[in-house]
Amino acid sequence: MTNTVACAEKADVILITGSNTTENHPVISAGVKRAVESGRTKLIVVDPRYIKIAGFADIFMRQNLGSDVAWLNGMMHVIIKEDLYDKDFVAERTEGFEELKASVEKYTPAHVEEISGIPADLLVEAARMYAGAKVASILYCMGITQHTSGTDNVKSLANLAMLCGNLGMPGGGVNPLRGQNNVQGACDMGGLPNVYTAYQAVNSEEVARKMEGAWGVEGVSLELGMKATEMIPAAHDGRLKALYVLGENPLVSDADLNHAEKSLANLELMVVQDLFMTETAEMADVVLPGRCFAEKDGTFSNTERRVQRVRQAVEAPGEAWDDWKIIGEIATRMGYPMSYGNAEEIFEEIRQVTPSYAGITYERIAVEGLHWPCLNEEHPGTPILHSTQFTRGKGMFHAIDWQPPAETADAEYPLYLTTGRVLYQYHTGTMTMRSEGLMDRAPESFVEISPKDAATYGIEDGTRVNIASRRGTINALVKVSHKAVDGTVFIPFHYAHAAANKLTNAALDPVSGIPEFKVCAVKLSAES
């Protein structure tokens, strides 16, 4: 996030899109709801489903799946046409405005209505509301990123925020809500194929020499590595021979699971480090018992870039080890001694090679976490990014054209499927499905369908149906709900027994490598 969690309560207008906030980030949603209830803040929600937070919205717009660039361009079209944009900000802090202006020219509200299904007058109203705010915040989540156009969607949101000068101040910003506890930290620490810690490029000679110096090695690779979504096909065609998996369960979370399973079976060696015998661990050659958060010391970095302490509360069961210790032992056996005494020693090393974390110490974050960048021990941390300038100097507008999703509904697969989470489950359920309370609330998968579609197919709430895509078939319980829009069904992806990802499309966003989980074509049939 460019801003903080608390910031939402300072906005005049909040735009939420592609985030089922009350279910996936309940504590953030509470802040949004408080702001709306207080009368200070107006709320615009753009989502294909009538999710709970939509009930709090002043304007709710239901876009067709995969039409985000179109409606965002449409909003900017209106804002520019009506001269509502922040001219000072655009002049002083950005470049590329003329290109943007030209590219949104054709996205008239009427044209956008054809693509997105959003009524033209509603779009105009939303554009005026967003642009009319002194300060407006954008919150988004996987509903924006999990598309073949995900990167374009994110850039379009940034365009909109810059156009209205909504960056760098309390209550503003473009704020991705991270779905997992330490996504931010995994990225910050270089858990990515193209960067070391603090986003230092792997293909930079200078960075490579610096890391070699710090680590006392020679010959680190300057080549970009494979993304997770490229590793699977590489395993399939034999380029990848070994995969080491730390606490992930790609066999439920990946797109097009049937293909993923075949690919992993092809590996010469798969090592899985986890808490439980997950679907992925079942296939591994070696399974190593790790520790859960309550059994270890360390830090997590939250969605607002705040680095916070994790503390050991209980002893680990049996012979479960800290993940860093396991890896360190293997490294040592491979001829590179890596023996840390505790998590803090590792953190001290991180500070040396990670400029944005350099000023953070365990002592400083003992009571309250600090936001990176935090450059030295006197630095107070940075709750709000870009307050005087962007990382690259001026903010760049990106002229972007709308592209349809990779798969569209047709005669054979006439319905759209979109996937997501439910409040009571988390990711692939390895943790939540072991909780009595959570399982009582959300014991099994379902397919959410609109009343009209249910009538068309002659299916009733509580019955079971088969849902098929070009890639697979699953069976799930029907939940008829006004949340669903006609023509689109929703299935949560948590449940291995009815894995929504057997159906999803592995078509990737060309830049981020994120699969299009949010759109694919399916058909329904009553259980035979």
Partner 1 sequence: MTDQNILVMNGNEFTFEPGETILDVARRHSVDIPTLCHLKGATPTGACRICVVEVEGARTLLAACATPAGKNMVIRTESPQVVEARRTILKLMLASGNHNCAARGSDEQDWTAFQLAVEAGDGSNKLCPTWGDCRLQDLAYRYQVDGEGHPGTASPYPLEDVNPMIVRDFSRCILCGRCVQACNEIQVNKAISFGFRGAETKIIAAGDKPLKDSDCVFCGECVQVCPVAALVEKNPRYDVRPWETEQVRTTCTYCGVGCQIHLHVRDNKVVKVTGVEDMAPNYGSLCVKGRFGFDFIHAPDRLTKPLVRKNGQLEETSWEEALDFVADKLGQIKKDHGPNSIGLLTSARVSNEENYVAQKFARAVIKTNNVDHCARL
Residues 498-517 that bind partner 1 (CB under 8 A): 512-515, 517
Structure-block tokens of residue 524: 């329904």
Choose which of 317, 443, 462, 510 interacts with partner 1 (CB under 8 A): 317
The footprint of partner 1 on residues 74-113 (CB under 8 A) is none
Select from 124-132, 338-346, 392-400, 474-482 the region that touches partner 1 (CB under 8 A).
Answer: 338-346
Applying the rule CB under 8 A, the residues between 207 and 246 that interact with partner 1 are 211, 215, 217, 219-221, 223-229, 231, 234-235, 239-246
Asked whether 514 and 528 are in contact (CB, 8 A), the reply is no
Minimum distance, C-beta of residue 318 to partner 1, in the bound complex (Å): 2
Q: Which lies closer to partner 1 via its Cβ, residue 314 or residue 411?
A: 314
DSSP state of 390: B
Q: 2 near 173, Cβ under 8 Å?
A: yes
Whether residue 130 contacts residue 13, with contact meaning beta carbons closer than 8 Å, is answered with yes
∠ at Cα 199 (196, 204), nearest 5°?
65
In angstroms, the CA 288 to CA 290 distance is 6
Q: Measuring CA to CA, which residue among 224, 251, 219 is closest to residue 235?
A: 251
List the one residue from 28, 80, 115, 484 that touches partner 1 (CB under 8 A): 28
The residue within the footprint of partner 1, chosen from 2, 3, 4, 488 (CB under 8 A), is: 4
d(CA 262, CA 421): 26
Q: Tell me the window of 106-114, 118-126, 290-298, 374-382 that interacts with partner 1 (CB under 8 A).
A: 290-298
Give the interface segment with partner 1, choosing from 76-84, 104-112, 263-271, 519-527 (CB under 8 A). 263-271
We find the least distance from the C-beta atom of residue 268 to partner 1, in angstroms, to be 6
Q: What are phi and psi of 504, to 5 degrees?
A: -65, 165
Binding residues for partner 1 restricted to 418-457, rule: CB under 8 A: 423-424, 426, 430-432, 434-438, 440-441
289 scored as a contact of partner 1 (CB under 8 A): yes
**CA-based torsion, 457, 458, 462, 468: positive or negative:** negative
Residue 64 CB, nearest approach to partner 1 (Å): 23
**Three-state helix/strand/coil letters over 161-229:** HHHCCCCCCCCCCEEECCCCCCHHHHHHCCCCCCECHHHCECCCHHHHHHHHHHHCCCCCCCCCCCCHH
Instruction: Identify residues 38-77 at the interface with partner 1 (CB under 8 A).
Output: 56
Shortest distance, position 119 Cβ to partner 1, whole Å:
28
| In the complex, least distance from residue 42 CB atom to partner 1, rounded to whole angstroms | 16
Residues 169-208 touching partner 1, rule: CB under 8 A, are 177-194, 196-197, 202
- Spatial CB neighbours of 342, under 8 Å, sequence gap ≥ 6: 297
Pairing of β 505-508 and β 446-449:
unpaired
Would you give the binding string for partner 1 spanning residues 383-422, x where CB under 8 A is met?
----------------------------------------
Gap between the Cα atoms of 120 and 108, Å rounded: 8
- Closer residue to partner 1 in complex, CB, 130/196: 196
Give 96 or 193: the residue with its C-beta nearer to partner 1: 193
Contact between 139 and partner 1 by CB under 8 A: the answer reads no
Which pair of tokens denotes residue 420? 């997501």
Note whether 254 binds partner 1 by CB under 8 A: yes
